[in-house]
Amino acid sequence: MEAVTLRKWAVIYSSVTGNTKMVAEAIAEAADSADIFPVQEAPQDLSEYDIVAIGYWLRLGQPDPMTLKYLAQVENARVVFFQTHGAEVNSEHAITSFARAGYHLGKGCEILGTFGCQGKINPAMLEKRKNAPADDPHGGAAAIERWKKAASHPDAEDLAAAARLVGNMEHKLAMRERYLANKDKHV
């Protein structure tokens, strides 16, 4: 029987409406061993953690300002990004934001995976965007429909998918370790 490795997770999140916090809690609960922190209370030294999950909401197509500041301090860590936003999950906007998050990480980090889901938009932002011109990507009838859809997220399915992310990342690391062990035997 193969030994099971228990990896310690740090789950760090920034949340205004509660969306990202809900996803963070689902991830932390799914991990065998996890500490969860709002980004304002996140540790500087992450060396005791095997995996660091960092969650944020999007602002201007990238992580929110507090998370951006924190990302630069994260060094030599295996990182999983998770994000909530009002955009469509597989939109260019959502996907590019993962790259922007990675760009802001400190040195020596490895990005293991990503998870994103829609989330209700801050009511103050919705009010501000209501009168945006139709050619504004954040205005018009299509945007209003997207906001309505986002308002029901994260839902139970999103939270279950976030929890599955933990198992997927654990499996990915186990497979990599097995590959490297076999590779070393044959060198």
pLDDT in tens, the chain (187 residues): 344 567 999 999 999 989 999 999 999 999 989 999 999 999 999 999 999 999 999 988 899 999 999 999 999 999 999 999 888 888 898 999 999 999 999 999 999 999 999 888 777 776 767 777 667 666 666 677 777 777 778 999 999 999 999 999 999 999 988 898 888 776 6
For 163, phi then psi, to 5°, come to -65, -40
Please give the pLDDT value at position 1: 39
Tokens in use for 95? Answer: 């996907």
Tokens in use for 35? Answer: 């500490």
Tokens in use for 186? Answer: 């044959």
Cα→Cα distances 91→45, 83, 104, 114, 146, Å: 34, 13, 21, 14, 12
Please give the pLDDT value at position 137: 64
| Amino acid code (one letter) for 155 | D
Three-state SS letters, 75-138: CCCEEEEEEEECCCCCCHHHHHHHHHHHHHCCCCCEEEEEEEEECCCCHHHHHHHCCCCCCCCC
Tokens in use for 72? Answer: 């630069």
Please give the pLDDT value at position 154: 92
Instruction: Let me know: does 19 contact 119? Beta carbons within 8 Å.
Output: yes
Please give the pLDDT value at position 49: 97
Distance CA 69, CA 63 (A): 10
Distance CA 51, CA 33 (A): 10
Question: pTM, whole model, 2 decimals?
Answer: 0.87
Instruction: Let me know: does 62 contact 53? Beta carbons within 8 Å.
Output: no
Please give the pLDDT value at position 59: 87
CB atoms within 10 A of CB 79: 23
User: Which DSSP symbol is given to 172?
Assistant: H
Secondary structure element (H or E) that encloses residue 34, with its range: strand 33-38
Cα three-residue angle 27-33-39, rounded to 5 degrees = 55
